[in-house]
Amino acid sequence: MRLYEQKKWWKRALALIAICIGVFSIWYTSKLVKQLANEEQKKIKLWANATQSMAKAEGNIDFLLNIVTGNETIPIILTDNNDKIISYRNLDSIQAKDTAFLNAELIEMKNQHDPIKIVYDAENNFYNLLYYKNSVILTQLKAYPAIQLALISFFAIMSYLALSSSRRAEQNQVWVGMSKETAHQLGTPISSLNEWINLLRETPKEEQDYLLDELQNDTKRLELITERFSKIGSEPVLKEENMDLVVENSMQYLKTRVSSQVAIHINIIQPGNWAKINIPLFDWVLENLCKNAIDAMNGKGELNINISSDIKHVYIDIRDTGKGIPKSKFNTVFKPGYTTKKRGWGLGLSLVKRIVEEYHKGKIFVRNSELGKGTTFRIMLNAI
Ligand SMILES: Nc1ncnc2c1ncn2[C@@H]1O[C@H](COP(=O)(O)OP(=O)(O)O)[C@@H](O)[C@H]1O
Ligand SMILES: [Mg+2]
């Protein structure tokens, strides 16, 4: 539960930061837009003033236009006292030949800004009106924050969806795999229990002892499985154990269930390799690794388990003569859901890694592997 609480807070914090960034960038660009608009207005006024004084002095309208031509970005239209268009600048030169286009532009300019009055002759009420609109840069800049925001939101939403869907897929895989693994583990002892019960029914009372022993073996197995599953997710109790015996006992069970075409050897370099482990969980590790090895050999080959140690570590190497793992997949094989088997769930090794590294503070990795020749997995535990 705590995990999900934490996640919720993280999500909120990230969303808040994203909103802050968005608001700041909009605020900043709109500040720029305002500045630029002010600049443009100032420029136009300056030109208008200059034009007015020049025109008054010279009475020369061409001169007026020449000055205004100094402006190369802000579209302008000059009209006379009757609002008749005299001249224009910085409008699309081809389209501007069309009066309808010019009139439309004029209306837009009227909507955007009040015109600047250039008075030539106050007595005869002779003046021109200078209309202008925002330059292309300013127009684009005004649209920029909205476009920016839309793009950022789009990417944020897309990446959130992509991430959460891939996470959900992984979670689903783990759920389904876990259920399958449970069912699979329970399947064998349950069906053999049923067989024993049928046999028991047909056996006279005095001969039932052997069958009862077998029944007990299966219930023990069921107990072990329950223990394993209950240990996943809670802190397991670790005890000092002789790994030589742990491995031998574990293999004893496996040997009875594996085809006789798989030769299993345990090589103890020097006896007495002690480590702190939880037996039910560690058995699960060995069982998973050996099952994979046997799968890789298609049920035929040699399985070697080497136990060795130095001052710091106990090493358990599980070597098979199977199909091997490509180098590029040495890490991938431990990811939940990675499998190359038709009926695989790709959970075995991720469970193994979790048990070794999180519960036992050890390490597990592919020590080496050659395609078509075999693979060695190494478990490294802290020695005591
Ligand atoms: N000893 C091995 N030799 C070759 N490939 C292996 C071996 N162990 C694991 N693999 C590869 O790693 C994959 C993942 O293994 P695992 O997590 O146990 O899932 P699963 O056994 O359900 O496929 C296997 O499908 C296989 O391709
Ligand atoms: Mg497996």
pLDDT tens for each residue of 309-364: 999 999 999 999 999 999 999 999 998 888 999 888 888 999 899 999 999 999 99
Number of Cβ within 10 Å of residue 236's Cβ equals: 21
Identify residue 252 by its one-letter amino acid code: Q
Q: Find the 296 Cα to ligand 2 centroid distance in Å.
A: 10
Q: Is the CB of 290 under 6 A from ligand 1?
A: no
Query: What is the predicted pLDDT for the residue at 250?
Result: 92
Whether 313 is covered by a domain: the verdict is yes
Last residue of a domain, one of 134, 149, 184: 134
Q: Is the CB of 375 under 6 A from ligand 1?
A: yes
Tokens of 131: 């209309």
Residues 219-274 have pLDDT tens digits of 888 888 888 888 877 788 999 999 999 999 999 888 877 888 999 999 999 999 99
Residue position matching structure tokens 């250039």:
118
pLDDT above 90 covers a percentage of the chain that reads 34
Q: Is the CB of 294 under 6 A from ligand 1?
A: no
Contacts of 296 (CB under 8 A, 6+ apart): 320, 322, 323, 324, 375
22 and 129 co-located in one domain? yes
CATH code of residue 63: 3.30.450
Whether the predicted pLDDT of 69 surpasses 60: no
Nearest Cα neighbor of 252 from 301, 208, 226, 217 is 217
Mean pLDDT of 33-38: 86
149 and 279 co-located in one domain? no
The residue nearest atom 7 of ligand 1, judged by CA position, is 292
Q: Is the CB of 348 under 6 A from ligand 1?
A: yes
Query: What is the predicted pLDDT for the residue at 305?
Result: 97
The domain in which residue 18 lies consists of 2-134
The residue nearest atom 2 of ligand 1, judged by CA position, is 293
Tokens of 94: 């081809």
